Homo-oligomer: A and B are copies of this chain.
Amino acid sequence: MTVTIYDVAREAGVSMATVSRVVNNNPNVKPQTRKKVYEAIERLGYRPNAVARGLASKKTTTVGVVIPDISNSIFAEVARGIEDIANMYHYNIILCNADKKKDKEIRVINTLLEKQVDGLLFMGGTVTDEHLQAFKTANVPVVLCATTDEKGTIPSVDIDHEAAAYDAVKTLINQGHTKIAMISGTLQDPANGYARFHGYKRALEESGISYDEDLVRIGNYRYESGVEAMKHFLDRSDKPTAVFSATDEMAIGTIHAIQDEGLKVPDDISVISVDNSRMASMVRPQLSAVAQPMYDIGAVSMRLLTKLMKKENVELSKVVLPHEVVARQSVGAKS
């Protein structure tokens, strides 16, 4: 039924070793025999079996990617960056959603390892000791993507979330705002939550603005939670004059909540966020945001992984990509 390397060898009148050589572009083959083999391959419609090859060579040219949720546009963007570079280096990716759930993450890491991936790209929630343990039993390189571990023992690529948040809030302060609310992700989330919250706090403190915990609401990253949080702030007698949202989506909810109240952005209230997804330009007013280079985070981490897999030694294994504040229309001076 299925045609093997052996069939090709017979058809071409050579040994299977020779067929293997031409298939793998080994130069040590006489052009004439190479031609014969190619013809035999063509005639038989031979397709190399990558599984057998993987068993023999101990390389599968596939990498595992654990991602929180591919339907989240932020992560989808990262995934595209990963896949483009993987493709460039002739790797394929096995994609697993793990929803930032530790148990699910550990589980998929193990099945990925069973499948003998040549490397692992991990995007998730907190990196616990259990994760570290699982990574250690892997005999393949691992790189954290859009995440970091506290200990810094695993190579990673990410932005500096704390600084990104700091810069966002700072641009608000520079416009004269002092009553600045924050809509944060859960503080359990090290990057989107905790780090950004602390950037917010540091910016306030450095500017001598006292931190008011009533001005912070925890959202779930989604549009609706931005709407809801903002409605809460709007109920106060002394409304904030500016809002910093941990994500674009919540920021857009924020903008709409403000507008629904008959107020104007940025005239009455300014809004800024971190992400800069494509949606940021798809609202009116267009959203000012600190840009997180998601595609690049994916691309760079995959590139790093290829180096690790080739055992090249990399100078820097904890790379922090630059962020930048892109000013659009949702931030104005305090009136």
Contacts and interface: CB of A to CB of B under 8 A. Distances in A.
**Interface size, A (range):** 35 or more
B84 A77 contact: no
Interface in A10-48: 45, 47-48
A223 B49 CA distance: 43
Interface in A222-262: 223, 249, 252-253, 256, 259-260
Given A71-B80, A80-B69, A62 B94 contact: yes
A70 interface: yes
A92 B115 contact: yes
Interface in A89-109: 92-97
Contacts of A62: 94, 115
Contact of A70 (B55, B79, B97, B278): B79
A70 B70 contact: yes
A139 B281 contact: no
Given A62-B94, A71-B73, A83-B95, 17 more contacts: A45-B137, A49-B55, A49-B116, A50-B114, A51-B51, A51-B115, A55-B55, A69-B80, A71-B80, A72-B76, A76-B76, A79-B95, A83-B96, A93-B95, A94-B95, A223-B282, A249-B282
A97 B115 contact: no
A101 B189 CA distance: 39
B2 A139 contact: yes
Closest 4 CB pairs of A and B: A71-B80, A76-B76, A50-B115, A50-B114
B252 A282 contact: yes
A94 B94 contact: yes
Contacts of A223: 278, 281-282
Contact of A76 (B60, B71, B279, B282): B71
A19 to B, nearest CB: 15
A111 interface: yes
Interface of A: 1-2, 45, 47-52, 54-55, 60, 62, 69-73, 76-77, 79-80, 83-84, 87, 92-97, 110-116, 137, 139, 223, 249, 252-253, 256, 259-260, 278-279, 281-284, 295
Nearest to A72: B76
A71 to B, nearest CB: 4
9 contacts: A2-B139, A49-B114, A50-B111, A92-B96, A92-B112, A93-B94, A94-B94, A95-B95, A259-B284
A238 to B, nearest CB: 26
Interface centre among A70, A83, A93 (most CB of B within 10 A): A70
Contacts of A259: 284
A160 B96 CA distance: 30
Contacts of A80: 69-71, 97
A113 B47 contact: yes
A35 to B, nearest CB: 22
Contacts of A114: 47-50
